[in-house]
Structure 1
Amino acid sequence: MLAAAGLALGLAALGFGSTRAAPGADPDGLDVAVRGGRLHVVTLGPRNAPGPAILLLHGASGNHRDMRFSIGERLARRHRVILVDRPGHGGSDRLGGREMASPARQGDAVAEALDRMRVGRVVVVGHSWSGALAASLALDHPRLVAGLVTLSGATEPYEDGAAWYNRIAATPLLGDVFAATIVGPVGRAQFPRGVQSTFRPHRPPADYIAMTRAELLLRPAEFKANAQDLVDLRGFLRTQAPRNGAIRVPTTIVTADRDDIVSPEIHSRPFHAQVRGSKLVVLAGAGHMPHWTETDRVVAEIEAVAAKSR
């Protein structure tokens, strides 16, 4: 199912506080030094807000702005919000080679950044691909995780593999040539249609691509990193999914009955059965982008987990 996400937005489409302007970075963000390079982090909201901070993790084929402009600024009215460009995306370095396609390795980097920033415990919110990353943080870094929310999250093994162009882009040498020559012109021409398919059955905001700088995906290095993330996810989940029952923090699993990218039957319902005491929310008539289309409900569910986690 996650291959569809790549299809929609693929071809269709130690210096904490450093002021280095990385490509894709925000002027109000920070580049946090971690092992292998830097992660681009944006913080919103009051530093002294009660309760844990809320960590928002974007899905495949995107960057932190997708979470910021959907729910991040809303949540920041009452909470400290941390947004991270995952390794190789937006303004963040890849931090290594192919091993960085692993949600566990990305989780290690995010945990290191949180430690350097002295954030304390967080409620982790992961959309789509980052459902696996959010679960990995809860499993491997429990001292940092006060609560967990997945939004159309990929958390379980699935059968269909990555799209052909992601397999090519993830291939050594050939992938570099492919990403540098084919992806840009084809992707730019088809990008709006790809975004529309990701939002179905709804329509995306008219300014979504410009607002979120979604076309950063078409940069060769980022496209290759995204392809590796998607190609390797299925194998990673075969290993991680049997551990999901060890998650012991307040957990809410938000899914949608018309999500044809990350199937609720394959991912969210089995995850709910594994995580003791978790809450399952199935949004009727919604698709893969509930943080954009069902914003009020999603914000309310995140805030409810944050309240339980104080």
Structure 2
Amino acid sequence: MTLFLLFIGILLLAHVLGAIQATNVIAARIAEENPPEGVFVPVPGGRLHLIDLGTGHGSERLPVLLLHGATSNARDIVYGIGADLARQRRVIAVDRPGHGWSDRPNGRGDAATAAQAKLVVAALDRHGIDRFIVVGHSLAGSLATLLAVEHKHRVAGLVVLAGATHPWPGGINWYYRLAALPVLGRLFVHTVMTPAGSWGLKKSVEASFMPGEAPADYVRKASAALVLRPDEFRWNGQDVAALKACLTAQSPRYAEITAPTAIVADPADHVVSTGIHAEALHRQVQGSRLVLVPGAGHQLHYTAKQVVLEEIGRLAQAADDHNSPRQAAQ
């Protein structure tokens, strides 16, 4: 019996080591195929990766800060609307801490929305960005709204796209819960998640675009595979696992938001409930504009691109007009 158990143990160890090796090979290939295309900006304990577009526009036009959601990176939102926006004004897209090519200086501690907000603001400071219009998609709706609450003097406009802004009934998907666990999570992402995720990535992307269709080149152009790297997927799980508590703490403060605000959502969004999030935010933020786009699904910056660009443009122009007297007085 002892020899049998020893044999089983050796067999299991061999399988685990083989899975770890396969994960490392796949992760290295993903990194090589999706190199950083922006600049690295120092922040306390590390650096964040920023994609900076449209730098030739004058300072009279406020820049737009783009914040991506969960299970993605800055290229997702840049590919969707960044290039179009950059024809009119400067655009800064940030890889949130631990995503894309940004560091995660405090590990699990950077899962909190407040911690990510501090790092993003530190990067903007270092990059010379003062006032801006912030656009947050999905999970980053939490980050964009918190910036609008805590940095009123810097946020000249707020646009929330299918954003997670309020606590919701129920939990999160099992793979996020598992990835976020301290010990089992590490084992999961270093043995199972990367090979399995590589096999199912295309289907996952297609599901996120329902009822619409993802662009044929989305996986490549949005560098969607980056999230399959073990550490990034673990940090992504930590973000999702921490989100509900963060929103419970910050959502009562949304009435403090003074920036002009546009909220865009599909009434039937199957990822983030419009009733729980978008409509509740609209009720709390005085003067906010709620734009409903039936049939657009969750990936609004692709499926309702023109609507999104119009809302950002309208709000940004108003912010520019309001900002001009401020500049003249300085």
- Alignment TM-score, normalising by the size of structure 2: 0.85
Q: 1:272 aligns with which of 262, 282, 297?
A: 282
Aligned match of 2:74: 64
Q: CA deviation at 1:49?
A: 5.2
Q: 1:237 aligns with which of 247, 255, 260?
A: 247
Do residues 145 (structure 1) and 147 (structure 2) align?
no
Aligned match of 1:186: 196
Aligned match of 1:9: none
Alpha carbons 2:52, 2:93 under 8 Å: kept: yes
Aligned match of 1:34: 43
Q: 1:296 aligns with which of 296, 306, 313?
A: 306
RMSD over equivalenced CA pairs, Å: 1.2
Alpha carbons 2:97, 2:103 under 8 Å: kept: yes
Q: 2:104 aligns with which of 94, 107, 110?
A: 94
Q: 2:272 aligns with which of 259, 262, 267?
A: 262
* Aligned residue pair count: 288
Q: 1:211 aligns with which of 211, 221, 228?
A: 221
Q: Following TM superposition, where does structure 1 have runs of at least 4 consecutive aligned residues deviating by more than 2 angstroms?
A: 22-27
Alpha carbons 2:57, 2:88 under 8 Å: kept: no
Q: What is the alpha-carbon distance in structure 1 between the residues aligned to residue 67 and residue 57 of structure 2?
A: 19
Deviations 1:6-49 (A, max 9, x none): xxxxxxxxxxxxxxxx975523x110000120000011012425
Q: 1:78 aligns with which of 88, 99, 107?
A: 88
Q: What is the alpha-carbon distance in structure 1 between the residues aligned to residue 197 and residue 108 of structure 2?
A: 23
Q: What is the alpha-carbon distance in structure 1 between the residues aligned to residue 308 and residue 218 of structure 2?
A: 19
Letter matched to residue 127 of structure 1: H
Q: What is the alpha-carbon distance in structure 2 between the residues aligned to residue 49 and residue 292 of structure 1?
A: 28
Give the structure with the higher percent helix: 2
Deviations 1:287-308 (A, max 9, x none): 0011101111100100111111
Q: 2:261 aligns with which of 248, 251, 260?
A: 251
Q: What is the alpha-carbon distance in structure 1 between the residues aligned to residue 247 and residue 86 of structure 2?
A: 32
Aligned match of 1:106: 116
Q: What is the alpha-carbon distance in structure 2 between the residues aligned to residue 99 and residue 47 of structure 1?
A: 37
Q: 1:161 aligns with which of 168, 171, 175?
A: 171
For the residue of structure 1 that corresponds to 2:211, the secondary structure is coil
Q: What is the alpha-carbon distance in structure 1 between the residues aligned to residue 143 and residue 45 of structure 2?
A: 19
Q: What is the alpha-carbon distance in structure 1 between the residues aligned to residue 196 and residue 151 of structure 2?
A: 40
Q: What is the alpha-carbon distance in structure 2 between the residues aligned to residue 303 and residue 230 of structure 1?
A: 30
Which one has a bigger Cα radius of gyration? Answer: 2
Alpha carbons 1:70, 1:291 under 8 Å: kept: yes
For the residue of structure 2 that corresponds to 1:119, the secondary structure is coil
Q: What is the alpha-carbon distance in structure 2 between the residues aligned to residue 303 and residue 251 of structure 1?
A: 12
Identical amino acids, percent of aligned pairs: 46
Aligned match of 2:205: 195
For the residue of structure 2 that corresponds to 1:153, the secondary structure is coil
Alpha carbons 2:67, 2:74 under 8 Å: kept: yes
For the residue of structure 1 that corresponds to 2:153, the secondary structure is helix
Deviations 1:140-179 (A, max 9, x none): 2222211000000000110121111211111112111110
Q: 1:170 aligns with which of 173, 180, 189?
A: 180
Aligned match of 1:19: none
Which one has more relative contact order, counting CA pairs under 8 Å at least 6 apart?
A: 1
Q: CA deviation at 1:95?
A: 1.6
Letter matched to residue 90 of structure 1: G
Letter matched to residue 252 of structure 2: P
Gaps of 5+ in 1: 1-21
Letter matched to residue 37 of structure 1: G
- Alignment TM-score, normalising by the size of structure 1: 0.91
Letter matched to residue 99 of structure 1: G
Letter matched to residue 129 of structure 1: L
